[in-house]
A and B are shown apart, each in its own frame.
Chain A
Amino acid sequence: MSFVSRGFRGRRRDHDADPSRVPPGQSVTYDFPVLSAGPTPQTAIEEWTFSIVSGGTKKTWTWDEFRALPSETVTVDIHCVTRWSKLDTTWEGVAVDTLLDDVEHDAAYVLAFCDGGYTTNLPLEDVTDGKAWIAFEYDGEALDPEHGGPARLLVPHLYFWKSAKWIRGLALRDEDEPGFWETYGYHLYGDPWREQRYAGD
């Protein structure tokens, strides 16, 4: 057991938020921390594409094609495994359902892949039925590169490391293949309400 420093609480403050919206072990933040494992990618929008990869087939959208798809504005709470939660965040994005509409598959899992090499794995059912978006706007403005712009995955019901920044596609898989952090011991699923931070939780 570590030595407890008298009076230390960190940045956590008492907040007015409804406690039923704050998962166990989390604290509400009013800023938007930037966590990064690498340099911010600088992909030019003319070169940006998003792909759904399924077996040997690949369906790709350019930025203009992607932005021509129907999108929606959502307000959601987000929860980071490093213990901060941010409530009522507003995003605009294309539902993953929309992107999967014309793709024939029977995959059970997806692996999100991104500029910079980051990956994260999710069950397909956790990115469908209105649970996930490819978000390109945050708080009414174009998504800042340091927060994942031009577009990131948004899966608010899971820990935010699953909401992969700088996403470039989803690979449909039969197996649940661990992504970047999952390989090093983070939980394969990541439900904040069951506090599934690490493998074995």
Chain B
Amino acid sequence: MKTIIVDVPDWPGHRAGQHLDVRLTAEDGYRAERQYSIASAPEEPVAITVERLDDGEVSPYLVDELRPGDGFELRGPVGGYFVWGREDGGPLLLVAGGSGIVPLRAILRHRRNTEGGAAVRLLYSSRSLDDVIYRAELDDPGDGVDVVHTLTRRQPPGWTGFARRFDATFLRELAWPREDDPLAFVCGPTSFVETVATALVGLGYRPERVKTERFGATGGR
């Protein structure tokens, strides 16, 4: 896992939840392109968080090889659907599976930077404690933010938190009730997003207030 701050000339500014298309070209012209969510809030320098996939094509380069002063092509910021600003209100339900936490973290930071924002519940599913990204930051998320972790594959000794996957029962207990007319952002692997989004609509969330962003099954795109 690595967070990379990118210095983009003439950066137009971005919204929380948007992403970048990163394109790498090799000397022989070979190209690879991937999407990375912007991990920082609009008030902060542009950063992406990259999860290194062992069999990845782009992530091992970005995590292992990239040095200050290196460059790559990018397109963005892009995305006009999976975005949140103060004016969108809440209460917010943020549901993350694995690296799906990245755009949600940008939303959280933006909310914190702009003060007095909507109440937030963040539900974050990871395989183990070692897989939790931004752990220290999420342990101290600030006022009005409740964070619930679930560790689905391995739990540390003495763990008193959740160990199940997010299903309808779990969400009924932990998500905002429908009466609050919450705004939900669900991000992670495709099957995770479909399970959670379906469950939220089943709980009475208005479908147009359940925003989804699917990442590849391995966490990247």
Given known A-B contacts A3-B71, A83-B30, A8 and B55 have beta carbons under 8 A apart: no
B81 at interface (Cβ–Cβ under 8 A)? no
Partner of A11, one of B31, B57, B70, B72: B57
Q: Is the CB of B70 within 8 A of A6?
A: yes
Set of chain A residues within 8 Å of B139, measured between Cβ atoms: none
Set of chain B residues within 8 Å of A140, measured between Cβ atoms: none
Partner of B31, one of A2, A6, A31: A2
Set of chain A residues within 8 Å of B71, measured between Cβ atoms: 3, 5-6
Set of chain A residues within 8 Å of B23, measured between Cβ atoms: 2
Q: Is the interface of B mostly helix, strand, loop or mixed?
A: loop
Interface size of A in residues (CB-CB distance below 8 Å): 13
Q: Is the CB of B65 within 8 A of A2?
A: no
Q: Is the CB of A8 within 8 A of B26?
A: yes
> Which interface class (under 10, 10 to 19, 20 to 34, 35 or more) fits B?
10 to 19
A4 at interface (Cβ–Cβ under 8 A)? yes
Q: Is the CB of A4 within 8 A of B55?
A: no
Q: Is the CB of B55 within 8 A of A9?
A: no
A7 at interface (Cβ–Cβ under 8 A)? yes
Set of chain B residues within 8 Å of A4, measured between Cβ atoms: 25-27
Q: Is the CB of A10 within 8 A of B32?
A: yes
The answer for the CA separation of A3 and B25 in the assembled complex, in Å, is 7
Given known A-B contacts A11-B55, A11-B57, A31-B55, A5 and B70 have beta carbons under 8 A apart: yes
Using an 8 Å CB-CB cutoff, how does the interface string of A166-181 with B read, 1 for contact, 0 for none? 0000000000000000
Q: A2-B73, A6-B70, A9-B61 are in contact. List 5 more A-B contacts (CB 8 A).
A: A5-B71, A7-B65, A8-B26, A11-B57, A31-B55
Which A residues form the contact surface with B (CB < 8 A)? 2-12, 31, 83
